[in-house]
Structure 1
Amino acid sequence: MIAAATTPSFIDRALGLFRHPPENPVLRENAEYFSDFDQDRPLADYEFCVVDTELTGLSSRTDEIVSIGAVRIKNLSITANSYYSLVAPKGELPKLSTMIHRITPEMLKDAPRLRTIFPEFMNFCGHSLIVGHNIGLDMSFLNRAGTDILGGKLSTPCIDTMRLSQIYQQELWENYYDQFDGQVSYQLYDLSNRYGLPSFNQHNALYDAMQTAYLFLFLVKKLRSGGIKTLRDLYLAGRSWRWYF
């Protein structure tokens, strides 16, 4: 058993990184890497994996993943490296979910099970920090998969672009750049339109991940008038926001 670090930083404690190593070697390596994680390097030094899932519903206990999409960010630029897979659920595909993401039972007939593709998805993410829009929802499903398939949850810190957007809007209001608007929509595509970002087809896991990647880079450059230089700066910019595991 690999011992956990004995002197975690205050950020480690805040992010919940100080844990006993899990038994599974993949999860153990994941936990070991992030147990002694340097948050003070320039943001361009980190790699990010922007993730989105399409689901049969919103309950992480009873619903299932039907597709996963992800893109990589390196040097604060979106790379050509992407991941996408349909996922065959164990249960029936509700008609309402098909109406949202347009994934049909026929499309999933020959799709792999989550147990089959989860290790390759983990490999794609590697040591990147995970980014997503309302990432807590995605991670609740992915962590259930990690528990069912590998015996434990991921230790990777995750950044929520929805929360970053709320922080950015608050900065605008506080600095009188914009009048307070309680009707601002924090839906991914509404925010992208509001900020004039490139637009992609909605409710496709890969396209949504790409849309989120553009939103993330926009927010990183805009927050605190571009004064976000390190991962610690990003954390402190919204120290009341949650990092999900």
Structure 2
Amino acid sequence: MHEKLTIDIETTGLSNQDEILQLSVLDTMTDEVLFNSFLKPSHIKAWDEATKTHHITPEMVVNAPTINQIRDAVQKLLDKASLIVGYNHLNFDNRFLTKAGFRLPERQYDVMLKYSEYIKEPNKYPEGFNKTPYKWFKLVDCATNLGYDWESRPHDSASDARATSWCYRKLAEIN
């Protein structure tokens, strides 16, 4: 049984109308890939701005399964998890996952928030989107600063999930 799961997604954009384009689920402690797939959006047909970041094009997902086709398999993994690990998932990924019909375990660990607490760099704009006392950092900055060696490119959900798992384990060692 995989008790701790790391989840990462790539999306068509940032708004509530956008959809998941790639979903990856890894065993947090071993980095075993339990699920990784591109997903064909149901409503969104183009996502030019998002493609600049993650390089996922409509052509890459045209024959991919839809979220409805993979939901049960992924939900079975989530139902067995005692902890979900992610990077900025409490503020971002969870919104898309719950909209897509996934039920998430109550126990969750957001590496971005824990890393921010570890670094303790004051948030210059506490009245803005980030209403926490500390500055938020991108995953690539967190991973690089903790000594992670990027084997593949950031903004692929499997690659990002692997980096997130590594950062989770590294922060556990430090604390």
The equivalent residue for 1:161 is 111
Q: CA RMSD, aligned part only?
A: 2.4
Residue aligned with 1:111, SS: coil
The equivalent residue for 1:125 is 78
What is the distance in 2 between the residues matched to 1:184 and 1:170? Answer: 8
Amino acid at match of 2:13: G
Residue aligned with 1:78, SS: coil
Whether the aligned pair in 1 keeps the contact of 2:78 and 2:104 (CA below 8 Å) is: no
Which of 54, 60, 75 is the equivalent residue of 2:10?
A: 54
What is the distance in 2 between the residues matched to 1:113 and 1:79? Answer: 25
What is the distance in 1 between the residues matched to 2:46 and 2:22? Answer: 12
Once the two structures are superposed, the pairs formed by residues 67-78 of structure 1 within 5 Å of their partners are: 67-73=22-28, 77-78=29-30
What is the distance in 1 between the residues matched to 2:168 and 2:156? Answer: 18
CA offset at residue 140 of structure 1? 0.6
What is the distance in 1 between the residues matched to 2:100 and 2:135? Answer: 33
Unaligned runs of 5+ in 2: 122-133
Q: Number of residue pairs matched?
A: 160
Give the structure with higher Rg (CA). Answer: 1
Amino acid at match of 2:106: T
* Change beyond 3 A, Cα 1:154–1:194: closer
What is the distance in 1 between the residues matched to 2:136 and 2:174? Answer: 18
CA offset at residue 155 of structure 1? 3.9
CA offset at residue 198 of structure 1? 2.4
Give 1 or 2: higher helix fraction: 1
Whether the aligned pair in 2 keeps the contact of 1:168 and 1:222 (CA below 8 Å) is: no
The equivalent residue for 1:197 is 148
TM-score (norm 1): 0.60
Amino acid at match of 2:21: V
CA offset at residue 184 of structure 1? 6.8
Deviations 1:46-66 (A, max 9, x none): 82100000001111x211000
The equivalent residue for 1:135 is 89
Which of 166, 170, 174 is the equivalent residue of 2:120?
A: 170
CA offset at residue 79 of structure 1? 4.1
Residue aligned with 2:30, SS: strand
Which of 114, 123, 139 is the equivalent residue of 1:188?
A: 139
What is the distance in 2 between the residues matched to 1:164 and 1:219? Answer: 8
Whether the aligned pair in 2 keeps the contact of 1:185 and 1:191 (CA below 8 Å) is: no
Percent of counterpart pairs with the same letter?
28
Unaligned runs of 5+ in 1: 1-45, 148-152, 172-182, 224-245
Amino acid at match of 1:165: Y
CA offset at residue 143 of structure 1? 0.7
Whether the aligned pair in 2 keeps the contact of 1:54 and 1:101 (CA below 8 Å) is: yes
What is the distance in 2 between the residues matched to 1:79 and 1:190? Answer: 20
The equivalent residue for 1:100 is 53
The equivalent residue for 2:34 is 82
* Change beyond 3 A, Cα 1:81–1:108: closer
Whether the aligned pair in 2 keeps the contact of 1:86 and 1:111 (CA below 8 Å) is: yes
CA offset at residue 154 of structure 1? 3.0
Determine if the alignment matches structure 1 residue 111 to structure 2 residue 67: no
CA offset at residue 194 of structure 1? 1.0
